[in-house]
Chains A and B, each alone.
Chain A
């Protein structure tokens, strides 16, 4: 037992070290979300409730933006969920490694399943698949224990600062710029580029539709475009 503890503790700290460079990304995003949500009219409690319950930056930004636009609540929820659909992929790909963990561990790991904890952990598991289960779990928790506190903390700082920022700072444009920044690095891949272009053209062309329905239509058509272009590229090989 004692030897087990010190073995998993070592792996936990490996996870902490692997996660720490990502604080440079997490901290500004958290800060920005706190500011943007507060500017949008969220109370500090609401900002922090969203940050703590959802822990998924892009989806949070998307839902806040839609509420600001006056979209119906179900559109704001569905769009946020759509942005988070990729979590199903993460969940499926982690299952061979973590599926036999204890239930409470799986509940906690699901709650903390974000782009960084998934990306860093799956890379480690695939590099050393022979890692015992308790080490895989310890590594995941190591990664997230650097990332999650910074996400909460910087959202709080942003939320506290947000109401003090005057409109000259044009923060209405923070969400568009942030989404461009998230998507841009993937645009060097042709299927991603095709999907993004279709998404933009369809949403602009259909923006007369009520209830932000244009977004659903644009997203579905763009998703199909990406998948088809990928298939076509594979067939050409």
Chain B
């Protein structure tokens, strides 16, 4: 990851994200998105984010790609707290606290 890589990512992600936000309100105008499109767009975050992190949870870089019980238990705790209590912050704090506890207990 070079300095140039970082700047290119910042600039193009910034411009692209602005254009996504400006798309209808500034360019297309008052037209409805077709139903099939909203039906797919609705699932984009939940389609991208779990896939992005799954390998990081199962094969973490910090352990050189070895399965790490502490990280698996922390991830499971965050998942449970987030889905049962619907609390984003509770899941983050609970997950990280579990990770520290497990790293301490399991060494």
Query: Using a CB–CB distance below 8 Å, which chain A residues touch chain B?
Result: 24-25, 28, 32, 40-42, 46, 49-50, 53-56, 58-60, 62-63, 65-68, 70, 73, 76-77, 79-92, 94-96, 98-99, 103, 106-107, 109-111, 113, 169-170, 172-188, 191-192, 195-196, 198-200, 202-204, 207, 214-215, 218-227, 230-231
Q: Quick one: closest B residue to A99, CB to CB?
A: B30
Chain B residues whose CB sits within 8 angstroms of the CB of A84 once the complex forms: 16-17, 20
User: What residues of chain B lie closer than 8 Å to A83, measured between beta carbons?
Assistant: 44-45, 48-49
Whether A81 contacts B10 by the Cβ 8 Å rule is no
A73-B9, A177-B74, A192-B43 as given contacts; A215 in contact with B1, CB under 8 Å: no
Q: Are A58 and B9 in contact (CB under 8 A)?
A: no
The answer to whether B78 and A226 touch across the interface, beta carbons within 8 angstroms, is no
Q: 24 A-B residue contacts at CB 8 Å?
A: A53-B13, A54-B14, A67-B1, A70-B1, A79-B48, A86-B41, A87-B20, A87-B23, A91-B21, A95-B31, A99-B25, A111-B21, A177-B91, A177-B95, A177-B99, A182-B88, A184-B78, A184-B79, A187-B46, A188-B83, A222-B43, A223-B40, A223-B43, A226-B47
Q: Which residues in B have some Cβ–Cβ distance to A below 8 Å?
A: 1, 3, 5-14, 16-18, 20-26, 28-33, 36, 38-62, 71, 74-75, 78-79, 81-83, 86-92, 95-96, 99-100, 103
Q: Which of B7, B8, B25, B49 contacts A58 (CB 8 A)?
A: B49
* With A180-B75, A195-B46 as contacts: A202 and B21 at CB distance below 8 Å: no
Q: A183-B82, A230-B43 are in contact. List 7 more A-B contacts (CB 8 A).
A: A28-B92, A50-B10, A85-B20, A172-B62, A176-B53, A181-B95, A222-B51
* Contacting residues, chain A, for B47 (C-beta < 8 A): 195-196, 198-199, 218-223, 225-226
- Evaluate contact between B46 and A180: CB separation under 8 angstroms: no
How far is it, in angstroms, between the C-alpha of A231 and the C-alpha of B1 when the chains are bound? 42
Report Cα–Cα, A225/B47, bound state, in Å. Answer: 9
By the criterion CB–CB under 8 Å, are B88 and A73 in contact?
Answer: no
- Hey, which chain B residues are within 8 Å of A218, CB to CB? 47, 51
Most buried by A among B13, B38, B40, B100: B13
How far does the alpha carbon of A180 sit from the alpha carbon of B46 in the complex, in Å?
10
Q: How far is the CB of A177 from chain B (nearest CB, A)?
A: 4
Contact present for A202 and B51 (CB under 8 Å) = yes
The 8 A-B residue pairs with the shortest CB-CB distance, nearest first, are: A184-B82, A226-B43, A53-B14, A222-B47, A181-B91, A203-B51, A218-B51, A199-B51
